[in-house]
Amino acid sequence: MTTLRVAVLGLGYVGIPLVGACIKAGHSVLGFDTDDRVVANLNGGLSHVDDVASVEISSWVSQGFIATSDASTLTDIDVFIICVPTPLSDDGSPDLSAVRAASLTVAAQLDAARKPLVVLESTTYPGTTEEIVKPILESRGAIAKADFCLAFSPERIDPGNKEWDFQNTPKIVGGLTESCTDRAVEFYLTVTTEVVRTKGLKEAEMAKLLENTYRHVNIALVNELAKISHLLDIDFWDVIAAAETKPYGFQAFRPGPGVGGHCIPIDPNYLGHRVRTELGQSVRFVELAQEINASMPAYVVHRTEQLLRSDGKSLAGADILLLGVTYKANIGDQRESPAFGVARELRKAGAQVRFHDPLVESWIVDEESVPKMHDLASASAQATCSILLQAHDCYREPTALLGARLLLNTQGHIQLLSAGEGTNWMNL
Ligand SMILES: NC(=O)c1ccc[n+]([C@@H]2O[C@H](COP(=O)([O-])OP(=O)(O)OC[C@H]3O[C@@H](n4cnc5c(N)ncnc54)[C@H](O)[C@@H]3O)[C@@H](O)[C@H]2O)c1
């Protein structure tokens, strides 16, 4: 295998595991990030993402990996991979400023003599690679196809997933031309086991949005059915457990406090934006899913209020302990976590909010710090009511929640073995 000089732009949840896979494949890797703190930490062997340990970063550094915020050092690069954030602007539209900036960085460093491969991995709407990235790459005189190859390859990383990682998850690749796709497939086969070709760029871009919209819509479906089932006095968790025994044609999704992270709540907006601006239409499924999933934090608070009332208490003045404030179990990422909405609604109702989460150092909601409780047993015994938002492993320990007096479990598929006899608890 030829050793390539690879530059990864954007060293976050997506870029870091990719760096690791490239190093493991024997490539020479440079990491570029605009955040000097990220660069300093990485060069000092410190990880800032959940799935990659600091000891791994240290070993990369000792093998020659360098992180930099100096774009001029990105010389003689064979493969540029852009993994920068694609958030939403204040008005809810796609914010592609980081993609544009990273494309400009690449444009300035493109060496036509090497005919490099440039790949965008950031999640975005169909058309971005050809309409936004390509013109920027060509802005300094290089011509796509002739001077560089261009492809899109969506990242499917699932932080915290112990079974499926970068290496064993098939990688989708679509190029500007057949030969661009060939180049990208050839490269990705050096770092992963299976590569799936699409017809072109837009199909690869759209595949990622289909995957995330599918999750968004199905989570909304079970969230709505959970609310309805409660009103009909049906145990919806029991319903899911029964339905998922069907060996074909059904995939189980679970209700919860709402969706979070940088994918599910955001990516469908990219699709909605494209459809609106191109076709003047809306994607009705997306809008409905957004409405339902966004209503879940308020629903959690509504159910908490019912639990308190059943015990002769009210939200006003109650001391509420939130357990697990990240956007999913066993990771430390707070981005877009539904816990923010739950805390806001609780405060609005006059409750006092504290949190427990071994993966989160400090938690600020609307510029106000939420007190962190370190000892789970005494914190849950002291609280008027605890709400299990994310089922981190620590909450599954047999004695973890023994002392809780009132407990709302938003993760109903998790058997609360530890809820004590004195605990009055209910599922979402
Ligand atoms: N996190 C996930 O689970 C996940 C999964 C699949 C896809 N994605 C997508 O991948 C992309 C990256 O997401 P992430 O979670 O890794 O983001 P992140 O915020 O963890 O990391 C992005 C990094 O890019 C850096 N950056 C910003 N502008 C830059 C620039 N102009 N040049 C170089 N670096 C720059 C930031 O400083 C940051 O360190 C997004 O489009 C996201 O939607 C994320």
Query: pLDDT digit string (tens) for 168-212?
Result: 999 999 999 999 999 999 999 999 999 999 999 999 999 999 999
Q: Where in the chain is the domain with CATH 1.10.1040?
A: 208-293
pLDDT recorded at residue 413: 66
Residue owning the nearest CA to atom 36 of ligand 1: 10
Tell the CATH topology of 208-293: N-(1-d-carboxylethyl)-l-norvaline Dehydrogenase; domain 2 (1.10.1040)
pLDDT recorded at residue 175: 98
Mean pLDDT value of segment 146-151: 97
Instruction: Determine the distance separating the centroid of ligand 1 and the alpha carbon of 401, expressed in angstroms.
Output: 36
Q: Which of 62, 54, 67 is nearest to 19 (CA)?
A: 67
pLDDT recorded at residue 403: 81
Contact present, 45 and 83 (Cβ < 8 Å): no
Pocket of ligand 1 (CB under 6 A): 9-15, 32-35, 38, 83-86, 98, 101-102, 105, 122-123, 155, 157, 159, 262-263
Helix (H) or strand (E) holding 40: helix 36-43
Q: Select from 14, 18, 128 the residue to mutate for testing ligand 1; criterion: most ligand atoms less than 8 Å from CB.
A: 14
Contact present, 419 and 425 (Cβ < 8 Å): yes
The pLDDT confidence band at residue 415, using thresholds 50, 70 and 90, is low
Task: Please state, in angstroms and rounded to a whole number, the distance separating the CA atoms of residues 391 and 401.
Answer: 12
DSSP assignment of 153-210 equals: ------TT-SS--TTTS-EEEEESSHHHHHHHHHHHHHHSS-EEE-SSHHHHHHHHHH
Instruction: Determine the distance separating the centroid of ligand 1 and the alpha carbon of 69, expressed in angstroms.
Output: 15
Q: Which of 140, 183, 156 is nearest to 17 (CA)?
A: 156
Please tell me the least confidently modeled range out of 73-77, 124-128, 285-289, 394-398.
Answer: 394-398
Q: Select from 155, 157, 328, 333 the residue to mutate for testing ligand 1; criterion: most ligand atoms less than 8 Å from CB.
A: 155
pLDDT recorded at residue 402: 76
Please tell me the least confidently modeled range out of 27-31, 187-191, 265-269.
Answer: 265-269
The pLDDT confidence band at residue 362, using thresholds 50, 70 and 90, is very high
Instruction: Determine the distance separating the centroid of ligand 1 and the alpha carbon of 53, expressed in angstroms.
Output: 18
The pLDDT confidence band at residue 419, using thresholds 50, 70 and 90, is low
Tens of pLDDT, residues 297-334: 999 999 999 999 999 999 999 999 999 999 999 999 99
Tell the CATH topology of 295-427: Rossmann fold (3.40.50)
**pLDDT averaged over every residue in the chain:** 93
CA 425 → CA 296, 416, 421, distances in Å? 19, 9, 10
Residue owning the nearest CA to atom 15 of ligand 1: 13
Contact present, 99 and 86 (Cβ < 8 Å): yes
Q: Where in the chain is the domain with CATH 3.40.50.720?
A: 5-199, 295-427
pLDDT recorded at residue 93: 86
pTM of the full structure: 0.92
pLDDT recorded at residue 7: 98
Q: Which atom of ligand 1 is nearest to the CA of 159?
A: 3
Tens of pLDDT, residues 44-86: 999 998 889 999 999 999 999 999 999 999 999 999 999 999 9
Q: Vertex 297, ends 295 and 300: CA angle to 5°?
A: 110
Task: Please state, in angstroms and rounded to a whole number, the distance separating the CA atoms of residues 52 and 31.
Answer: 15
pLDDT recorded at residue 414: 66
Q: Select from 19, 33, 105, 132 the residue to mutate for testing ligand 1; criterion: most ligand atoms less than 8 Å from CB.
A: 33
Task: Please state, in angstroms and rounded to a whole number, the distance separating the CA atoms of residues 270 and 265.
Answer: 10
Whether the per-residue pLDDT at 17 is higher than 70: the answer is yes
Mean pLDDT value of segment 92-102: 94
Spelled out in words, what is the top-level CATH class assigned to the domain 5-199?
alpha beta
Task: Please state, in angstroms and rounded to a whole number, the distance separating the CA atoms of residues 34 and 189.
Answer: 29
pLDDT recorded at residue 182: 98
Integer Rg of the chain from CA: 24
The pLDDT confidence band at residue 158, using thresholds 50, 70 and 90, is confident
Instruction: Determine the distance separating the centroid of ligand 1 and the alpha carbon of 19, expressed in angstroms.
Output: 13
Catalytic residue list: 263
Task: Please state, in angstroms and rounded to a whole number, the distance separating the CA atoms of residues 124 and 154.
Answer: 9
pLDDT recorded at residue 68: 97
Whether the per-residue pLDDT at 106 is higher than 70: the answer is yes
350 torsion bin: left (phi>0), alpha (psi -120 to 50), beta (else): left
